[in-house]
Amino acid sequence: MGRILLGFILFGLGCGPQKQVGQPKPPPLVLDLGQPFDQATRSAEDPPEEVQKPADRTLTKKPTYQLVERVKEVWPKVLLTDSSGKPRPIRARIETSVGAIVVELRPDWAPNHVRNFLSLAQIGYYDGLRMDRIQQRETEKGSVVSWIEGGCPLGEGKNPSGSIGYWLRQEKGPATIDGEGLMGSCLEGSPDSGATRFFLSIQPNRAEGDDRTFFGKVVEGMEVVRKISLRPFIILEDEPPGSHAPETPVEILRVVEVGAPPEQTPPLP
């Protein structure tokens, strides 16, 4: 376990805030690969602004307080480094009712978000939940960004919702992260409001100023992501334009860790 230091580089092609001439460089980003649960999260006693009270039980009837206790137990046992202490990419398979999606999780982008996702997967939190939202938004520059969301404890995907009793403190990885199939944390409101919900992007472009935390990328099953995004949906009038619910829920059967990527797989940028 240890710390890794990343230069936070502003990138002006739809990946983040435009770099201003003469603007001082932001300080280097420090990510802690061994941060304890209590430091990496905000509890129900110190919730972020604009969040919803956690549900007592999930869609699958699991008591949320028990899930939190199990995450705390598993958290320190999730290994994010290789034998030399360097962050290692970790692959996980999201098995859904319409096919499987393999994601490569990146502790060097956001270690606490990776550890949280793997902890939830290990305790079976995602089993029986849903891919519950299809999002399509137009940016100020006229381009379209779209993604699918899943993992809401109630299977509804409404904002604000998503916590089972804790929230993740924001981690900002390299601003140059881009491309289709990016995996990130859905927010309830403030940057510290990520919890259980995740998204998978469709288009390779990011909205300018997008400050959500990205912690992985689809490496297999992008056709399944697109299949979910193209399913018939219900337009939700009580939510922001572009937020849709699938007419027929797509079930998450389970999420399992499948180990490190093959050695011949080139590292992600």
Class of domain 36-201+215-225+246-255: mainly beta
Of 122, 120, 130, the C-alpha closest to 41 is 120
Return the axis-axis angle of helices 64-74 and 111-122, rounded to nearest 10°.
120
pLDDT confidence of 234, banded at 50, 70, 90?
Answer: confident
205 in Cβ contact with 148 (< 8 Å): no
Across 71-85, average pLDDT? 94
181-232, pLDDT tens digit by residue? 999 999 887 889 999 999 999 977 665 556 789 999 999 999 999 999 999 9
184 in Cβ contact with 212 (< 8 Å): yes
**What does the alpha-carbon distance between residue 64 and residue 5 come to, in Å, rounded to a whole number?**
35
Cis omega (within 30 of 0) on the bond before 17? no
> What residues contact residue 55 under an 8 Å CB cut-off, 6+ apart?
64, 153, 154, 161, 164
- Percent share of the chain, pLDDT over 70: 81
95-118, pLDDT tens digit by residue? 999 999 999 999 999 999 999 999
What global pTM score does this model have? 0.84
Residue 123 tokens, joined: 């305790």
Check residue 238 and give its pLDDT: 76
**Secondary structure element (H or E) that encloses residue 114, with its range:** helix 111-122
Boundaries of every domain in the chain = 36-201+215-225+246-255
